[in-house]
Amino acid sequence: MKQTERPIAVFDSGVGGISVLRELVRLMPNENYIFFGDSKNAPYGGKSLEEVRKLTECHVRHLLSEGAKAVVIACNTATSADVSILRKEYPDVPVVGIEPALKPAVLQSKSKVVAVLATPATFRGKLIQDVVQNFALPAQVSVLAATSLALVPFVEHGQQLSAECLTVLHDILNPVVTQGADYLVLGCTHYPFLKDAIQVLFADQLTLIDSGFAVARQTARILIKHELLCEEQCKRPHVQLNCYVSGQNAETLRSVVARLIDPAFTWDIQNIAM
């Protein structure tokens, strides 16, 4: 197999990374992808940074042993805990991470009050502090943190529009809306799958921003730089995706994933027990 035809590995703590994967697939439909969602151990957001690091390193090692040419850490929590360590460990492999899209939110906010919804572990990491420092123009913009461990399981189980999920979302987001936030940065890759639910509750009050497309664009840039972009156009009319998600029974997983993916592409969904 040619170097460029090797797959791009996409990793997340669970099915949330599919929100990044679908942007990658849309932008680069000629690529092969291997996705690993560690649903068995999700949520990562309540774990220590050390635990998140151990799990991430174990799964990235596995993905590289499958021949991946690049790794996308489609998880804000794992990026914040581990991306710099992974880059040191694998200096020859492009490793792309994800961080909350605070900059566009700050630039576009009219009220200059922006909320970031992310996991507790992401807020404990240094990365988010750097992002806030770099992009929040301290004197002019207030950044409000919103967090919960309860949201990820709703996405993992396909219950985003359940009454329970709407109640949890309302309780987390109402305080930031009351404090004047007009932009909500979705700082966890599971949360783009909550967009409909957030819109049901706060349609006119919050504009939502996530980082999925920015990560896809950055991945394309890095692949071009390393001469790893697959340019065999039209060779594959559909994108084949191997979706490995551990920890749930295959049927539940299949129906949850089927509702998250883009039906315009061919997805080969697999389940592996770890």
Which residues are near ligand DGL by CB under 6 A?
A: 12-14, 16, 42-45, 75-77, 119, 122, 152, 188-190
Query: Within 13 Å, how many C-alpha atoms sit on residue 257's CB side?
Result: 29
- Catalytic residue, chosen from 75, 165, 230, 243, is 75
| Annotation says 75 is catalytic | yes
List all residues 6 or more positions away from 167 whose beta carbon is below 8 Å from its beta carbon: none
State the residue number with the nearest CB to ligand DGL: 45
**Closer residue to ligand DGL, CB minimum distance, 72 or 75:** 75
- CB of residue 74 to ligand DGL, shortest distance in Å: 7
Q: Which of 165, 188, 230, 243 is catalytic?
A: 188
Give the shortest CB-56-to-ligand DGL separation in angstroms. Answer: 11
State the Cα–Cα distance between residues 22 and 130, nearest whole angstrom: 27
| Cβ closest to ligand DGL, residue 87 vs residue 124 | 124
Closest distance of CB 119 from ligand DGL, Å: 4
Dihedral angle sign, alpha carbons of residues 190, 193, 194, 199: positive
Contact (Cβ atoms closer than 8 angstroms) between residue 190 and residue 14: yes
SS (H, E, C) 146-162: EECCCHHHHHHCCCCCC
Considering beta carbons, is residue 75 or 228 the nearer one to ligand DGL? 75
Q: How many CB atoms lie within 10 A of CB 79?
A: 27
Catalytic site includes residue 234: no
Closest to ligand DGL by CB, 14 or 94:
14
Shortest Cβ distance from residue 187 to ligand DGL (Å)?
Answer: 7
Contact predicate 70/8, CB 8 Å: yes
**Largest Cα span, the chain:** 56
Task: Report the catalytic residues.
Answer: 75, 188
